[in-house]
């Protein structure tokens, strides 16, 4: 069945691996009969900084509260046109794919600023004006899928379970769990290509082939089994109940099965 | 002894808690006889997006490689003036403090863009042109201290060891370990104020008092005991040796003692 997929990417160099992978996304998803929407953040000259200009009609001109002004602007349709257009694309999409080079273990600022600005109060947090009642598995984007596709300069060993940088999926937890599962997306395991600083033509070809395979499963693969806030695993103060992941603390306790989902071994093997 | 402290902050509203805490920083550190440098990113209209305009004299006009151009620009002193000025401030400082509201479990984009742009190749990574030889405890900023001071909207329970968001210090690991310890800083435990969405006057006063206390220990407190890359704990492929944090995986294995340093209980207690 035909779906709509939004691809958001942050890499201005057309010959980069990230952009080659974006090209693969567009080509494959279109070939599968899906409608593809794109947000090429550099080409759009996306405004990264969330500031007073995001609120053309302020609720309070004396004091700038981002939360209050975001809620006011979203509720009364007084957001800037660029933000509203991105929200419409997300709402129209069945899946959203973020493609970017990993910079300092996170998104490039231009993409972080997309999250900061587009994830409005009343939409991506404070859903239904109900504070934190609907989040982590519930929210405006419930039923949609999300996936990160990341080009990593360093070698896969640095991101191994005991590698010095920490495992990639744990470093990206603030994004996958905190920014995507939070407003309701089902989040697929991250697709990563390592060693892009010294990638050969064969390495790039293998990366593109691995990405084609992953795209094939965009609507079928199992998402990361993050625990839903309102699914019975958490207390009323949103801490894990004693019998859930008993004795565990930290990020991985919020994944059913108790293990951080590792990046598919395929990529690390083929591409490191 | 008099020191130099750089305060970098990302919050345009003067009455916000973040800015009140910045005021405390300036007042206390000055009173202690230190020289205080400031980078008020919103007032400076800091350019968040790392792009081709960061490289006024390109090494390669055909293909934009951020790593290669950053190294070229840094080595040949062809960086933009704003980036060079920030690097000079960091190099002049004995300690750097980042003060910001937590947005989507990370820095506001304007501050992430400060890292993306100021942390040049040859300076903050690829130090001495030696690839990854000098990092995590070594690097251009060795001997300096760094600390995050974060205003968190949500309640402390959400960030408890088993709280639904994950522990704050693990969510910030890409910054503390990946962006600050990486280029050589000794990183102090994060100072956090929770529940800033509904902070009372008494809560704000308690937060400022707790922050004054933390500032008192800026040059004496023990840093987070991250493991140095070249200190004997890692193999040549930068994975933990089998006897180090035996059986552990993930972010916390890179902290000596095997525990993620939790945010000081004082703050959580006083301010939640």
Residues pairing with A191 in the sheet:
A149
Q: Mean pLDDT, to the nearest integer, of A148-157? A: 97
Look at residue A197 in the predicted model and tell me its pLDDT: 87
Cα(A91)–Cα(A141) distance, integer angstroms: 7
Q: What tens digit of pLDDT does each residue of A22-37 get? A: 999 999 999 999 999 9
A250: contact with B, CB 8 A cutoff: yes
The token pair that represents B31 in the structure block? 């009173």
With bands split at pLDDT 50, 70 and 90, how would you rate the model's confidence at A261? very low
Decide if A66 contacts B197 (C-beta within 8 A): no
Residue in chain B closest to A114 (alpha carbons) equals B109
- Digitized pLDDT (tens) for each residue of chain B, 272 residues in all: 899 999 999 999 999 999 999 999 999 999 999 999 999 999 999 999 999 999 999 999 999 999 999 999 999 999 999 999 999 999 999 999 999 999 999 999 999 999 999 999 999 999 999 999 999 999 999 999 999 999 999 999 999 999 999 999 999 999 999 999 999 999 999 999 999 988 999 999 999 999 999 999 999 999 999 999 999 999 999 999 999 999 999 999 999 985 544 444 334 334 44
Contact criterion met (CB < 8 Å) for A252 and B250: yes
Beta-strand pair A95-101/A4-9: parallel
| Per-residue pLDDT band at A258 (split at 50, 70, 90) | low
Q: Tell me: pLDDT of A44 over 90.
A: yes
CB contact under 8 A, A178 and B197: no
pLDDT at residue A175 is higher than 80: yes
A50–B108 CB contact, under 8 Å:
yes
Looking at beta carbons, which residues of chain A come within 8 Å of B51? 12, 42, 110
> What pLDDT band is residue A1 in, cutting at 50, 70 and 90?
confident
Give chain B positions within 8 Å (CB) of A104: 112, 115-116, 119, 174-175, 178-179
Rounded to an integer, what distance in angstroms lies between the CA atom of residue B62 and that of residue B45? Answer: 30
Q: Nearest Cα to A173, choosing from B245, B97, B104, B112?
A: B104
In terms of CA atoms, which chain B residue is nearest residue A61? B13
Put simply, the chain B residues between 31 and 90 with a CB less than 8 A from any chain A CB are: 42, 46, 48-52, 63-67
Mean pLDDT, rounded, for A189-197: 96
Q: What are phi and psi of A2, to 5 degrees?
A: -70, 135
* Mean pLDDT across A196-216: 96
Judge whether B188 and B221 are in contact, CB under 8 Å. yes
Chain A contacts of B103, Cβ < 8 Å?
Answer: 50, 116
HSE-CB for A169 with a 13 A CA cutoff: 27
pLDDT in tens, A66-97: 999 999 999 999 999 999 999 999 999 999 99
CA distance A181 to A156: 25
- Show residues of chain A in contact with B42, CB under 8 Å: 49, 51
Burial (CB count <10 Å: 0-12, 13-18, 19+), residue B142: middle
Task: Check if the beta carbon of residue A33 is closer than 8 Å to that of residue A44.
Answer: no
Report the domain count for chain B. Answer: 1
Residue A46 lies in domain = 4-271
Residues A137 and A121: their CA atoms lie apart, in Å, by 17
Question: What is the predicted pLDDT for the residue at A235?
Answer: 98
pTM assigned to the model: 0.96
Of A190, A218, A196, A159, nearest in space to A32 by CA: A218
Determine the residue of chain A that is closest to B18 in CA distance: A65
Query: What is the tens place of the pLDDT at every residue in A224-242?
Result: 999 999 999 999 999 999 9
Q: Is this prediction's ipTM beyond 0.90? A: yes
Mean pLDDT of A195-200: 92
Contacts of A115 in chain B (CB under 8 A): 104, 109
Q: Compare all CA atoms of chain A with the CA of B102 and give the residue at the minimum distance.
A: A116
Average pLDDT, chain B: 94
Three-class SS state of A265? helix
| CA distance to A172, B164, B229, per residue, from A156 (Å) | 15, 29, 16
pLDDT digits (tens, 9 = 90+) for B7-41: 999 999 999 999 999 999 999 999 999 999 999 99
Using a CB–CB cutoff of 8 Å, tell me whether A170 touches chain B. yes
Residue A40's pLDDT band (cuts 50, 70, 90): very high
Q: How far is B4 from chain A (nearest CA, A)?
A: 26
Cα–Cα distance measured from residue A198 to residue B47, given in angstroms and rounded to the nearest whole number: 29
pLDDT at B258: 54
- CATH number for the domain including B54? 3.40.50.360
């Amino acid at each position: 069945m035909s779906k709509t997929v939004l691809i958001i990417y942050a890499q201005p160099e057309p010959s980069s691996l990230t952009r080659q992978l974006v090209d693969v996304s567009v080509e494959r998803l279109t070939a599968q009969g899906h409608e593809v929407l794109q947000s090429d953040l550099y080409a759009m000259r996306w405004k990264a900084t969330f500031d007073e200009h995001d609120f053309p009609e302020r609720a309070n001109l004396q004091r700038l509260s981002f939360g209050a002004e975001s809620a006011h602007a979203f509720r009364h349709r007084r957001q800037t046109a660029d933000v509203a257009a991105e929200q419409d694309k997300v709402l129209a999409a069945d899946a959203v794919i973020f493609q970017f080079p990993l910079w300092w273990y996170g998104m490039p600022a231009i993409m972080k600023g997309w999250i900061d600005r587009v994830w409005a109060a009343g939409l991506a947090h404070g859903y239904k004006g109900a504070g934190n009642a609907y989040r982590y598995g519930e929210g405006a984007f419930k039923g949609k899928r999300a996936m990160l596709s990341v080009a990593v300069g360093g070698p896969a060993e640095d991101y191994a379970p005991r590698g010095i940088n920490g495992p990639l999926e744990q470093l990206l937890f603030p994004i996958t769990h905190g920014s995507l599962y939070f407003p309701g997306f089902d989040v697929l395991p991250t697709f990563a290509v390592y060693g892009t600083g010294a990638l050969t033509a064969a390495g790039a070809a293998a990366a593109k082939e691995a990405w084609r395979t992953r795209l094939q499963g965009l609507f079928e693969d199992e998402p990361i089994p993050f625990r839903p806030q309102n699914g019975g695993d958490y207390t009323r103060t949103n801490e894990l109940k004693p019998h859930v992941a008993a004795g565990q603390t930290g990020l991985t306790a919020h994944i059913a099965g108790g293990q951080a989902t590792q990046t598919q071994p395929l990529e690390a093997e083929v591409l490191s």
